[in-house]
Amino acid sequence: MQLRVSQVTALTPSVRLIRLESTDGQLLPAFEPGSHLALGFDLENEPAQRKYSLVSDPQGGSYYEIAVKKNPYGRGGSKFLHERLAVGTLLEASRPISEFSIAPDGQHYVLIAGGIGITPMLSIIARLRQTGTSFELHYSSKSRAEMVFQEVLLSEDCDRVTLYFTESDTFRRIDINQLLKTHAHEADTHFYVCGPSSLIHRVRLAAGAHGVQAKRVHFESFGPAWSMIDGPVKLALSESNIEVDVPVGTTLLDAMEAAGAWIASDCRRGECGACITTYTGGTPIHRDSCLTEEQRAHSFCPCVSWASSSGTLTLQV
């Protein structure tokens, strides 16, 4: 479907709230809490698609809203939405996609959000509040100035929300291990986590350490992201006899496919494990949310992970 940008609001210097309406004035369909939209636009004259969590009312209505954080080291989607988007811009959009839905058998929900990972939690919280379901939110950001939606969350659910600031005078980090330990033996408690891959990985490790069943741990990442210290990677595909120089901003999976290699893939967010391959040389930088520490000693997810520039990363592809 086609949507029109009707309003753009700066929540912080790096986060924009974007309101989207139908082009014909029709009401937009309701969606499941935790859903996202896939938006299509052109990046450097090439069609691209990016996914953004819906932060508006899950009941639907006259508009959808998404909150987008600008990532200067990303793949260009957030940069486009911050620098080139304006009121009146038309965007191709999917219908809402539900891949982070509320488990129906839960009696209590522990929500863990890092940074812009708060976005899918907003509609989840709205539904849990509406149904009178027990929940708690642990929300971490670098500083109070960068923490979006805190006023709304505190005004509605101050007794169920704990805020953490990791780079401020009031330094405080979520104690993931203690949090999982506290609720580990509650069979009807579910854990939801969204944010950086490192946060998701810590939750999954703690869940495993405390015997929390995998079906009780739900996570969503935002796909590949780059660090300011990343450099170009030299990639060698041993079975295909292909070598590729990969610049920052291009995923290793995309570079492999462009060079003519075939590798299975699905989510391209480091969650499903479809693209897992074996590495036999080089120094990987793991940014997936699906591999265990033991698997990371020999396996790699090229859809989101990176590698050191100091040597060649060799993959068995």
Domain membership flag for residue 33: yes
The arithmetic mean of pLDDT across residues 205-221, rounded, is 93
What average pLDDT score do residues 196-203 get?
Answer: 89
Q: Are residues 289 and 251 in the same domain?
A: yes
In this predicted structure, the answer to whether residue 256 has a pLDDT above a threshold of 80 is yes
- pLDDT, averaged across the chain: 91
Same domain, 209 and 281: no
Q: What tokens appear for 123 in the block? A: 């509609």
* Spatial distance between the Cα atoms of 47 and 96, rounded to a whole number of angstroms: 20
0.85 surpassed by pTM: no
- The reply to whether 239 and 209 lie within a common domain is no
Report the alpha-carbon distance of residue 281 to residue 243 in Å, rounded: 13
pLDDT of 31 strictly over 80? yes
What is the domain count for the chain?
3
Q: What is residue 198's three-state secondary structure? A: helix
| 56-98 pLDDT, tens digit each | 989 879 999 999 999 876 677 888 899 989 999 999 999 999 9
pLDDT at 155: 86
Residue 226 lies in a domain: no
**Minimal CA–CA distance to 76: which of 250, 229, 244, 267?**
250
Q: Is residue 225 assigned to a domain?
A: no
**171 compared with 188, residue with greater pLDDT:** 188
Same domain, 257 and 306: yes
From CA 103, how far away is CA 211, in angstroms rounded?
19
In the β-sheet with 233-237, what is the strand arrangement from edge to edge?
242-246, 233-237, 312-315, 277-281, 299-300
- Residue 110, pLDDT > 80, answer yes
pLDDT bin (cut points 50, 70, 90) of residue 270 is confident
Distances, alpha carbon 285 to alpha carbons 162, 235, 256, 277, 280, in Å: 31, 13, 17, 14, 14
Answer yes or no: is 68 within a domain.
Answer: yes
**What is the rounded average pLDDT of the residues 43-67?**
89
What pLDDT, in 10s, does the model give residues 141-167?
999 999 999 998 988 777 899 999 988
* pLDDT in the model for residue 281: 94
d(CA 101, CA 32): 7
Residue 211 has a pLDDT of 95
d(CA 254, CA 238): 17
Does the residue 176 lie in any domain?
A: yes
The two most distant CA atoms of the chain are separated, in Å, by 59
φ/ψ of 204, rounded to 5, equals -65, -40
So what's the pLDDT on residue 167?
A: 83
Instruction: Identify whether 21 is part of a domain.
Output: yes
84 with 34, same domain: the answer is yes
Q: Is the pLDDT of residue 168 over 80?
A: no
CATH at residue 203: 3.40.50.80
Q: Domain range spanning residue 295?
A: 233-315
CATH number of the domain bearing residue 8: 2.40.30.10
User: Does residue 32 belong to any structural domain of this protein?
Assistant: yes
pLDDT band at residue 216, thresholds of 50, 70 and 90?
very high
In a shared domain, residues 132 and 211 = yes
Q: What is the pLDDT of residues 273-292, one digit of tens each?
A: 899 999 999 999 998 888 98
∠ CA 228-230-234, rounded to 5°: 160
296 conformational bin, left if phi > 0, alpha if psi -120 to 50, beta if neither: alpha
